Structure 1
Amino acid sequence: MPRLRAGVAATGAGMSRVVRRAADSAARRSLTMLMTAATAAGLTGVVGSGTALAQNVPALAAAKAKPGESERLIVEAKELVYDNDRNTVSAVGNAELHYGPRTLLADRVRYDRNTGRVFAEGNVRLTDETGSVVTGDRMELTDDFKSGFIDSLRVQQTIEQRGRVAKVRFSAPRAERVAGETTTFEYGTYTACEPCKTDPERPPLWQVKSARIIHNNEEHRIYYEDSTLEIAGVPVAYMPYFYTADPSIRRETGFLAPHFVSSGVLGQGIGTPFFWNIAPDYDLTVEPTFLSKQGVLGQAEWRQRLANGFYNLRLSGIFQTTPSAFLTSPLGPGNRDFRGSVESSGQFFLSPNWRAGWDVVGVTDKWFLDNYRIRNQAITVDYFREAVSTAYLIGQGDRSWFEARGYYFKGLSTYDWQKQQPIVAPVIDYDKRINGPAPLGGEVRFQANITSLTREATQFQEIPSTRTYLLSPSLNGVNYPLYGTCTVFERDRCIVRGLAGVNTRASAQVSWRRDFIDEFGQVWQPFAYLRGDMFYVDPNRSEFQNREINSLFSPDTDFSGRVMPAVGLEYRYPLVADFGPLGVHTVSPVIQVIARPSETRVGRLPNEDAQSLVFDDTSLFAWDKFSGWDRVEGGVRANIGAEYSVTTASGFYMNAMAGQSFAIAGVNSFRRGDISNTGRNSGLETDESDYVGRFQISPNRNISFITRARFDQGTFGLKRFESGINAKFAPFLPLEASVLYARYESQPELGFDRRREGIQAAATYNITPNWFVSGSVLFDLSHYLQVRETYAAAADAYFLNPVGSAPVYSHPTKWYPSSTGVGFGYRDECTTVSINYISSPIETASGLRERNQTLLLRLELRTLGEANLRQNISSTTTADGIATAR
């Protein structure tokens, strides 16, 4: 039966009950009831004609429009019934009422003009202006739908939180709605979990049951009285009274979820953060953590967002009650009562192209952040523990880039000597590209860099091939050897990782290149560049220096310069063949020749940023193979290679490349090592370099495999090898996995006297759409070499001084698990639970190697809160700066 969009006209008196049904779709389209404040009073009852619109409109819902308000009530139903005796009007059969932004749906809606109340029955559904959906068996509302009572209430509200859309649900046998702002649920429940599709009556994964739940939309708060938290229908926590922010609110004053601490040196503890939403643009979080063995750790974080950026400031501090739990100086902070840190970060957009910011960390001692488990994004953990503070100014144009920075490095390990850490300020980079002027054409690029750093003490490293053994004090009657160390610089025995004093360099390079393609498809790219460098070195400003270093940089040569011009030509001839379903095949030989004078002043200039030289497929055709500005490649060199690739319409891709580099004339820059020996053991120190190659294949978008290698040019022995695969097996198997294998031969002149080899693997398997298990492992395949050498050295020491029993030689396994991790968890639209176990090595203050075994537990009840627990489960662990930890 067509629905009636009710139209009403005046009729005579005496009709006690009138019913009118819409006869056809034309009537449904034409019969429209618009309820306004202009309703004529005293009309007894009308049913509109199916062919004409109403002349006068009675107040079915008696909607009283406020002055200046244009809201109207629109009603749609199968039947419209007016009862003059009871002074009621009813919409029967799929009734749909719209009043402003609110909509009421029900099987039957009755309006009582005497009381101004609206009664809705059967599958009642009310949607308010926020999008919240209220359902129930029966509702009693005011004529504007803002207030009333609801039986068998169910409320569903859609929110966006942390970039994800979620739905929260309230339910109660009876509730009261007041002024559209406050809803009181009697014996109500709250959850963010969806009901079970196969068994809707089954309890959700978690829910809060309360004697009363009060949802105040004006305050955006939810109050819970006499509440119980249930997990899978089982009560797990009782709370007499608490409140939370409305799920639609991201920031609300109140207590956050606590976190728990359990540690041998800190004791048992609990942190209770309090968040103060002071204003829409700034807030404050204060978190005292009560520790049974060390007292109260105080933390506070201030955050503020301005019109053009943001900043935050975080302070941490504690007056320790048991400092003796830590080692004394210089191995630990045991002589400190107060310990603390300050952290701050910020970023401001000065204009559409410019921004400035900072990220700084300051600590009272290098062990504080690790001991009290305070972590910042600027802190690098695991094997390289340091805190990096930086301030920057960045500008970006269409084809230009400017960046100015300053750095301060704070070592966080017992082994770090802060006087060897540099202060780097400023570091300025500028890069600009423009179209080449006629008739040159092509592209012109200008690059510039200014770097200045200051270091108090020179950082030396011993060349392993020159290592000497010294006898340590006896341990269990045996004198074990200790390695000799470089405390002063000696040529061919020590390398310099960082030079003391002041080191400033200004560099600039202008380059040009252009591609020419002839009629045969050959690509010719001539190029040229001119680079200049100016150095200022003053090692005499450091008190931690020695004569040999000073002789390299004498006072009368503090200022020095370097100029490097170059011209070159690169030739490519891509040969393309289309084999239809077998794909497009491309073979491209590449020849590159660069002519330059020899590099000057090698070994008499500092090298801070060009020590990480890696020769592989990615650097074969680089104009300058050094990684930074402190070194510049010189001499005439030819780089030759070939590349082959296949691409198909199905998504298959394969690529292979191989090549070699040749020193043709002049001095080979990589043969002459500087004070850090950069260039030696690189594969480029001979006139004919090692061979480099790459093989990559992706059968589809879910699987990618890549291998790159370097082979000795004389023996074809493997010098460097990396191979990795990333795979997603969905939809056939809910598994994601990655494996990476790496092997690097020893580079004794660079400080690596043993082969380095390892495998890293990680995988995540989704047991079900909700349950998952993950794991990772890092195998140190060269660990046994170090252990074997230690035992051999100990045996040598025993024969030199045979006191007590000789050390027993063991056969360590090659598959040494350096670090492992296993995780198991559950996640759905309302809950995340995960348990992770991590085992990793740590270098302790006493030089002993221990393992750090940690259990991490995380529980998140979405929209309600989350809890995290980190527990060290090692029976005995000697950690950095800690005397004993049990």
Structure 2
Amino acid sequence: MLLSGMALTHGLHAQEPALAEREQPEGNLLLTSEELTYNLDEERVVASGAVQIDYGGYQMVADRVEYDQQTGRLYAVGNIELIEPDGNRIYAEELDITDDFGDGFVNALRIETPDNTRLVAESAERTGGTETTLNNGVYTACEVCEENPERPPLWQIKARRVIQNGENQTIRLEGARFELFGRPIAYLPYLVVPDYQKKRQSGFLFPSASYADDLGLGVTVPYYFALSPHMDATVSVTGYSNQGFLTEAEFRRRFSNGDVTLRAAGIYQMSPEEFDERTVDWDEDLRGLVNSTGRFEINSRWTFGWDLTLQSDKNFGETYRIDGFAEEEEISEIYLTGLNDRNYFDMRGFYFDIQTPFPDNFDEEVQPIVHPTIDYAYTLDQPIFGGETTLDVNLTSLSREREEFFDFTDDRRDRLRGVDGWNNRLTGEVEWRRRITTDAGIIITPLAALRGDLHANDLEQTAALASVGGSDDDFQSRSMVTAGVEASYPILATTATSSHVIEPVAQLFVRPNEPLSGGLPNEDAQSFVFDATSLFERDKFSGYDRIEGGTRANVGFRYTGTFDNGYRLNAIVGQSYHLAGENSFATDDFVNAGANSGLETDVSDFVGQVGVQMPNNIALRAGARFDKDTFDVDRADVAARYANDRLSVGAGMTFVRAQPEYSYDRDRYEVRGDASLRVTDNWSVFGAASYDAREHVLTDASIGLGYDDECFSFRIAYIEERDRRDLSGPDWSIGASLSFRTLGDIAFND
């Protein structure tokens, strides 16, 4: 039956479910209960016993509900739970509200939002259907302790008034007192936080603090601007007791296919004399930087982006620890990439900003400006003679203000790591290869490759070039043709509990000598390590500026073992042989790439690598290069890791024997390790360290303590690190951060 716009059902009519399921007219209220009384004279409906009300997205249960049809108000009593359309859950013992749930009054209520924040108050009043005012309220994002519900949460905010506004989706706390572990620690006249529906809200963020001898005590106060759904900004002001006010601003804008960020920071130093004399910091007053980043998906294939930074001096970002700009090396780049099926294109330009406090340091001037480097790779769709054909193109164009030249006074050869002026190279290479499996199971892979290089240079340091055997010709070209074959014979051996694959591998590459060997600038092939990962490479140089020439054979074994108990093994071992022609690794170049590498002789050193994966979450890896005559270890890398739900431990060691003709004239040892342990469900400790065994010093170390739960996170860490170029003394810092869910973060650094 319908009474004054109300659809009523109760337990006496439970056998007629059609009434409850029937579509109700818009705006009708559906009420069910165990007992229903209707007073015609007073136009009052009283429902009691498991009362349920459903109206316009609101759902409510209570022990007893009275509905006054004359005033249009509902009065509910006992174990009330009201679920609002936005997901809020309101718990109370008494509730007086209009029949559209727009206005009302409630005593002793508790509100739980969908993101698990909680509001508790002595009383509350709802007006306009959008705003709820709570008197003597408590706000927290922490769950109530099940074992001791009376115990205060880890953090809470008690306020004289709490106003939850549904229109602007904010929670405003007036006369707020912040409590930690039940103890008041701060008073705020008012505090506004976004509710769970609004992820962004303009207002002040939590402040942070820092300390440094030359800067003094610093307090950072950030303000966040929610400008639009696709645009926002943050402005921060840091007051330093020694240097004045540092202002930082960050603007962010999202587009349908990408985003742009603009950042700026600046300060006028009040007391530059606090810094060491004859440093950039001591010599400057007005300092700052600007940065812009962007990334756009032009279409499903192409991406364009940039990350560009400009600083007023050599050390501003590192001195003031500007977030994202405090590293020794800051890289600006602009790029365009494309990927489609069998095509790949990448174009990038780079500028390297080396931060240093010393004005006479030229590390930045010897860095190249790359304008640009282009890589293109294409694999033909159709096979040629049954094989796969690939095309690889690289263009590198760079310039440098100052050469990076090392003039050694001993018998070691001088090195020119970078030439000043312009240096351009265009490389194109075509490779064909085909995989053939014989009836006997032998896999034969013939290949052929043709490469050509064009060099166009405008180099200035001709004397430096001559001292390392280089040429000062402005235009040069070279080419290389390679014919090769690889043969492997995988042998499968099985037992009742394991399977093993042993694969002997042999390669032969026939080619002429490297043209202009060592006579051209070497920019991208300076880093060279011969190990098991490069054993079977056709060209073992790390970049395009060097080409491996001469006839060479590579021989070795690959092994893979799988065991039923969960163990897995893999290994590679082998050796390389220079058979004819000029050995490129024995040829001097601008940096002596290849010297002391183990490949400079006709018979190379032995290289090997082994990896073990255990079922108990332990992984081991070891690689080494062994002297071909004495079998002494010339290079070794060992690493181990164990991890489970609570503990993660890693350790490693690197040893490199002296390479006086290539880099260091003494042995190098480094031991490193890291660990993290979750002591309880909430508490954890972590740490890491690296130790230079040659110098007997810790190059870097850190240790910290952390706490995490559903509403709060805490971190404190001590960090010590040394400049790899100067191990005389460490820099150290202490950092701490507090994160309160729904409120923000507090950070401190010393």
* TM-score category (smaller protein): over 0.9
Q: 2:668 corresponds to which residue? A: 756
Distance 1:88 1:655 in 2: 82
Distance 1:31 1:22 in 2: 12
Q: 1:46 corresponds to which residue? A: none
353 and 33 in structure 1: CA distance in 2 versus 1, 3 angstrom threshold:
closer
549 and 351 in structure 1: CA distance in 2 versus 1, 3 angstrom threshold:
farther
1:248 positional shift: 3.1
1:551 positional shift: 7.4
Out of 720, 730, 740, the residue aligned to residue 652 of structure 2 is: 740
Q: 2:368 corresponds to which residue? A: 422
Secondary structure at the residue paired with 2:380? strand
* Partner amino acid, structure 2, of 1:75: L
Q: 1:353 corresponds to which residue? A: 301
1:575, 1:587 within 8 Å by CA — same for their partners in 2?
A: yes
442 and 151 in structure 1: CA distance in 2 versus 1, 3 angstrom threshold:
farther
Q: 2:90 corresponds to which residue? A: 134
Q: 1:500 corresponds to which residue? A: 420
2:414, 2:468 within 8 Å by CA — same for their partners in 1?
A: no
1:577, 1:584 within 8 Å by CA — same for their partners in 2?
A: yes
Q: 1:409 corresponds to which residue? A: 352
* Partner amino acid, structure 1, of 2:39: D
Out of 56, 59, 83, the residue aligned to residue 100 of structure 1 is: 56
Of 816-825 and 447-456, deviating more is: 816-825
Out of 552, 555, 558, the residue aligned to residue 474 of structure 2 is: 558
Distance 1:117 1:427 in 2: 74
Q: 2:36 corresponds to which residue? A: 80
- Output one character per residue of 1:554-606: Cα deviation in whole Å (capped at 9) or x when no partner: 3xx211111111111111211123334x2321111111111111101112101
CA RMSD, Structure 1 to Structure 2 (Å): 2.3
Q: 2:11 corresponds to which residue? A: 21
1:599, 1:635 within 8 Å by CA — same for their partners in 2?
A: yes
- Output one character per residue of 1:754-802: Cα deviation in whole Å (capped at 9) or x when no partner: 211111111111110101111111111111xxxxxxxxxxxxxxxxxxx
- Output one character per residue of 1:724-764: Cα deviation in whole Å (capped at 9) or x when no partner: 1121134xxx2111111111111111221121111111111
Of 86-95 and 625-634, deviating more is: 86-95
2:11, 2:33 within 8 Å by CA — same for their partners in 1?
A: no
1:436 positional shift: 4.1
2:9, 2:19 within 8 Å by CA — same for their partners in 1?
A: no
Secondary structure at the residue paired with 1:748? coil
- Output one character per residue of 1:115-145: Cα deviation in whole Å (capped at 9) or x when no partner: 2111222221111222121111222221122
Query: Which one has more relative contact order, counting CA pairs under 8 Å at least 6 apart?
Result: 1
* Partner amino acid, structure 2, of 1:140: D
1:532 positional shift: 0.7
1:132-531 residue pairs with structure 2 within 5 A? Answer: 132-159=88-115, 167-329=116-278, 331-376=279-324, 379=325, 381=327, 385-413=328-356, 414=358, 415-438=361-384, 440-462=385-407, 466=411, 492-531=412-451
* Partner amino acid, structure 1, of 2:712: T
- Output one character per residue of 1:301-336: Cα deviation in whole Å (capped at 9) or x when no partner: 12111222111111111111112223455x433222
- Output one character per residue of 1:203-235: Cα deviation in whole Å (capped at 9) or x when no partner: 110000001110111111111111111111111
2:220, 2:237 within 8 Å by CA — same for their partners in 1?
A: yes
* Partner amino acid, structure 1, of 2:708: R
Out of 607, 621, 633, the residue aligned to residue 548 of structure 2 is: 633
Q: 1:163 corresponds to which residue? A: none
Out of 703, 722, 725, the residue aligned to residue 841 of structure 1 is: 722
Distance 1:722 1:79 in 2: 80
* Partner amino acid, structure 2, of 1:198: E
Q: Which runs of 5+ in 2 are unaligned?
A: none
514 and 110 in structure 1: CA distance in 2 versus 1, 3 angstrom threshold:
farther
1:87, 1:114 within 8 Å by CA — same for their partners in 2?
A: yes
28 and 670 in structure 1: CA distance in 2 versus 1, 3 angstrom threshold:
farther
1:299, 1:316 within 8 Å by CA — same for their partners in 2?
A: yes
* Partner amino acid, structure 1, of 2:660: P
127 and 351 in structure 1: CA distance in 2 versus 1, 3 angstrom threshold:
same
99 and 665 in structure 1: CA distance in 2 versus 1, 3 angstrom threshold:
same
Q: Percent identity?
A: 38
2:232, 2:252 within 8 Å by CA — same for their partners in 1?
A: yes
Secondary structure at the residue paired with 1:746? coil
Distance 1:411 1:573 in 2: 51
Out of 89, 93, 107, the residue aligned to residue 45 of structure 2 is: 89
1:464, 1:751 within 8 Å by CA — same for their partners in 2?
A: no
Secondary structure at the residue paired with 1:333? helix
98 and 677 in structure 1: CA distance in 2 versus 1, 3 angstrom threshold:
same
1:22 positional shift: 3.7
1:464, 1:748 within 8 Å by CA — same for their partners in 2?
A: no
1:703 positional shift: 2.3
2:374, 2:395 within 8 Å by CA — same for their partners in 1?
A: yes
1:465, 1:753 within 8 Å by CA — same for their partners in 2?
A: no
1:461 positional shift: 2.8
Distance 1:148 1:271 in 2: 42
1:650 positional shift: 5.4
Out of 707, 725, 735, the residue aligned to residue 856 of structure 1 is: 735
Out of 595, 598, 623, the residue aligned to residue 683 of structure 1 is: 598
Distance 2:489 2:23 in 1: 80
146 and 457 in structure 1: CA distance in 2 versus 1, 3 angstrom threshold:
same
1:464 positional shift: 8.4
1:31 positional shift: 4.0
Q: 2:558 corresponds to which residue? A: 643
2:458, 2:474 within 8 Å by CA — same for their partners in 1?
A: yes
* Partner amino acid, structure 2, of 1:100: G
Secondary structure at the residue paired with 1:696? strand
Q: Which runs of 5+ in 1 are unaligned?
A: 1-6, 11-17, 38-69, 160-166, 467-491, 784-813, 872-886
Q: 1:792 corresponds to which residue? A: none
1:843 positional shift: 7.3
Out of 633, 654, 660, the residue aligned to residue 575 of structure 2 is: 660
Structure (1/2) with the larger strand percentage = 2
1:113 positional shift: 1.1
87 and 630 in structure 1: CA distance in 2 versus 1, 3 angstrom threshold:
same
Count of residues in Structure 1 that have an aligned counterpart in Structure 2: 744
Q: 2:514 corresponds to which residue? A: 599
Secondary structure at the residue paired with 2:538? coil
Q: Output the TM-score relative to the length of structure 1.
A: 0.81
Distance 1:205 1:324 in 2: 45
Out of 832, 839, 843, the residue aligned to residue 713 of structure 2 is: 832
* Partner amino acid, structure 2, of 1:722: D
- Output one character per residue of 1:784-839: Cα deviation in whole Å (capped at 9) or x when no partner: xxxxxxxxxxxxxxxxxxxxxxxxxxxxxx4x322211101211111001110111
Q: 1:674 corresponds to which residue? A: 589
1:284 positional shift: 2.4
2:162, 2:172 within 8 Å by CA — same for their partners in 1?
A: yes
Secondary structure at the residue paired with 2:290? strand
* Partner amino acid, structure 2, of 1:819: D
* Partner amino acid, structure 2, of 1:398: D
